[in-house]
Amino acid sequence: MERLGEKLSALRKKRGLTIRQLGEMLGVYHSYVSQIEKGKKTPNAAMIIKIADIFGVTTDQLMRDELELDE
């Protein structure tokens, strides 16, 4: 799960969202989203599911470092 933050950042930017906007969508502070993207925080299972649902990816794609995101 080391690449989760990198993947989240790529998905957010691809969708044209700011960290603040994504935080609002997830119901968390933007600083928490920033910490996830920097690898300083690891979201719980419920948050990973929310992120996957928002971006239309699987939880496996987010959590497994060896899996890439669909382009």
Q: Which CATH number fits domain 4-63: 1.20.120.1200, 1.10.150.80, 1.10.150.120, 1.10.260.40?
A: 1.10.260.40
pTM of the model: 0.92
Domain layout of the chain by residue ranges: 4-63
| Interval 21-70: pLDDT, tens | 999 999 999 999 999 999 999 999 999 999 999 999 999 999 998 888 87
User: What is each CA distance from 63 to 17, 19, 20, 21, 54, in whole angstroms?
Assistant: 21, 20, 22, 22, 15
Residue with tokens 């992120």: 51
- Distance (Å) of CA 15 to CA 21, 38, 40, 41: 11, 19, 23, 22
